[in-house]
Chain A
């Protein structure tokens, strides 16, 4: 069932109290810079909305329980686990997924660094790693290798590419002259 409602001007994104019915609730999100309108049931997670309704399948479902980080996306620039977020509760938010990072055909610096450092094997964790790394850079609390490793600990990699992941992130941090 495609429950998307496009270009529906009949509601404002952050309207107050939403009626308590079990039926679909109108919400809007700005996903990778584009305003999108939906009518969704309250039990739909942001992860499922992105993958199944927006077909943005870059964001992965690893555990669905907050334990792996594969579903990491940015909300208002902050990284979160999209598997534990109900989409209705983020009505009006700006969401950035892995698909929203590159500038056309030009890779995002983190994507480029991951390629150059061979920071992946199967690649399943990679979209979450890169969104998480962008969140880490936005937060500005990491500069040393130890800090990068600790503040990337919410992203597991079953292939064990950790060393190269940390190296890729360090390179971007150093280039940015970030704190």
Chain B
């Protein structure tokens, strides 16, 4: 780890002020940042410890939504009775990720801002446009089993590794941030960006901006939902492909369906075409297959990850079936039914 100075922010204004300087990082749970600092991928000159900021509550919103403080841990979020009862998709996705120890330290703000698990990004001896702009991309033409099939660019094919964010995308969550220019609200689906020709930027957060909370809208997706995560081992592994589905049904007629894909792009992947194509249709396998093709429209493999295209399609169909039947994927009994 490089040498750095440390300051413990006593309040949000101090954190924003400190965070606006160059080569500074906010320290939350540290489970991603400290790991990357040990690898010399992140080399901040100063850490601003935000752990004592009063952003550690889950609060009811007027009208029935829920506000998740940025510093609430992933574990406390998943096991919160209100989250469990009203947003079971979110609880399920969080519990599908990392390990109990990591979830006890990891925070909601940190989860949103965690960086890719691309092997080349992690290895400063290799070329990586995200870590070292302009150096090239080791993954293109290299080992790219875990990489993107959608929305990639010729400069970066990394994926965003979060499970939580895939559920948040399906739930139309909003990210509340505060910064040198005041407060703003960013829809989760517009929080992360595609790599384009600036792959070093993971999201639209501006310098000094701090995530303060994530808001969940008041919507009832407690009957028809699922989080289906497919990976190389059944626990404690990142998704190769994951699917979050929420649905509203009238008999077997779909009133609304939202599908977010994880592990396949630089951000949780949704498609208005795929979703509107399901609205008003029957909850049938044929319609689910059509939706899977619409959602993966334009998917391109990079060689090692070609299998992900078919895997994603099958996972989407299965997840839609699970959600329609009201039988969400269990994160304990790992059988995919």
Q: Which residues of A does B touch, CB under 8 Å?
A: 16-22, 25, 41-43, 45, 64-66, 69, 72, 78-81, 84-86, 88-89, 91, 132, 135-136, 139, 141, 144, 146-147, 150-156
* Chain A residue contacts of B333, Cβ below 8 A: 146
Cβ B38 vs Cβ A147 within 8 A = no
Cβ B100 vs Cβ A17 within 8 A = no
**B154 touches A (CB below 8 Å):** no
Cβ B4 vs Cβ A42 within 8 A = yes
The 8 tightest CB contacts between A and B, nearest first, are A154-B99, A42-B6, A153-B235, A20-B7, A17-B10, A154-B101, A16-B10, A18-B8
Nearest residue (CB) in B for A76 is B104
* Chain B residue contacts of A88, Cβ below 8 A: 6, 8, 49
* Chain B residue contacts of A80, Cβ below 8 A: 101, 104-105
Known contacts A81-B31, A86-B34, A146-B332: does B101 contact A22 (CB below 8 Å)? Answer: no
The CA of A14 and the CA of B71, in the complex, are separated in Å by 18
Cβ A150 vs Cβ B101 within 8 A = no
Contact for A81 among B49, B102, B235, CB less than 8 A? B102
Cβ B101 vs Cβ A43 within 8 A = no
Cβ A153 vs Cβ B27 within 8 A = no
Cβ B9 vs Cβ A17 within 8 A = yes
Cβ A154 vs Cβ B332 within 8 A = no
**Closest CB-CB distance, B51 to chain A, in whole Å?**
6
Number of A-B contacts (CB under 8 A): 111
* Chain B residue contacts of A42, Cβ below 8 A: 4-6, 47
**Closest CB-CB distance, A69 to chain B, in whole Å?**
6
* Chain B residue contacts of A139, Cβ below 8 A: 75, 79, 100
Chain B 57-113 residues near chain A, CB threshold 8 A: 75, 79, 98-102, 104-105
**B307 touches A (CB below 8 Å):** no
Identify which of B1, B8, B100 gathers the most chain A CB atoms within 10 Å of its CB. B100
* Chain A residue contacts of B248, Cβ below 8 A: none
Nearest residue (CB) in A for B18 is A20
Known contacts A146-B332, A150-B235, A154-B236: does B30 contact A89 (CB below 8 Å)? Answer: yes
**B198 touches A (CB below 8 Å):** no
Cβ A136 vs Cβ B101 within 8 A = no
Nearest residue (CB) in B for A81 is B101
The CA of A69 and the CA of B236, in the complex, are separated in Å by 11
**Closest CB-CB distance, B148 to chain A, in whole Å?**
23
Cβ A78 vs Cβ B7 within 8 A = no
- Report how many residues on chain B are interfacial, defined by Cβ distance under 8 Å: 39
Cβ A21 vs Cβ B5 within 8 A = yes
Nearest residue (CB) in A for B99 is A154
* Chain A residue contacts of B4, Cβ below 8 A: 22, 42-43
* Chain A residue contacts of B235, Cβ below 8 A: 150, 153
**Closest CB-CB distance, B38 to chain A, in whole Å?**
7
Contact for B30 among A18, A20, A86, A132, CB less than 8 A? A86
Contact for B5 among A22, A69, A146, CB less than 8 A? A22
**Closest CB-CB distance, B227 to chain A, in whole Å?**
14
* Chain A residue contacts of B51, Cβ below 8 A: 89
* Chain B residue contacts of A45, Cβ below 8 A: 34
Cβ B38 vs Cβ A85 within 8 A = no
**Closest CB-CB distance, A137 to chain B, in whole Å?**
12
Contact for B7 among A18, A64, A144, A155, CB less than 8 A? A18
Identify which of A19, A43, A84 gathers the most chain B CB atoms within 10 Å of its CB. A84
The CA of A51 and the CA of B51, in the complex, are separated in Å by 24
The CA of A139 and the CA of B95, in the complex, are separated in Å by 14
Cβ B101 vs Cβ A20 within 8 A = no
**Closest CB-CB distance, A144 to chain B, in whole Å?**
8
* Chain B residue contacts of A86, Cβ below 8 A: 6, 27, 30, 34, 47, 49
**Closest CB-CB distance, B98 to chain A, in whole Å?**
8
Cβ B100 vs Cβ A22 within 8 A = no
Cβ A81 vs Cβ B100 within 8 A = no
**B35 touches A (CB below 8 Å):** yes
**B267 touches A (CB below 8 Å):** no
**B14 touches A (CB below 8 Å):** yes
**B266 touches A (CB below 8 Å):** no
* Chain B residue contacts of A72, Cβ below 8 A: 101
Cβ A43 vs Cβ B3 within 8 A = yes
* Chain B residue contacts of A132, Cβ below 8 A: 100-101
The CA of A20 and the CA of B19, in the complex, are separated in Å by 13
Listed by A's residue number, 28 A-B pairs whose Cβ atoms lie within 8 Å are A18-B6, A19-B7, A20-B7, A22-B5, A42-B5, A43-B2, A43-B3, A43-B4, A64-B38, A66-B35, A66-B101, A79-B101, A81-B31, A84-B29, A86-B49, A88-B8, A89-B8, A89-B27, A89-B49, A132-B100, A135-B104, A136-B100, A141-B79, A146-B332, A147-B332, A151-B100, A154-B102, A155-B99
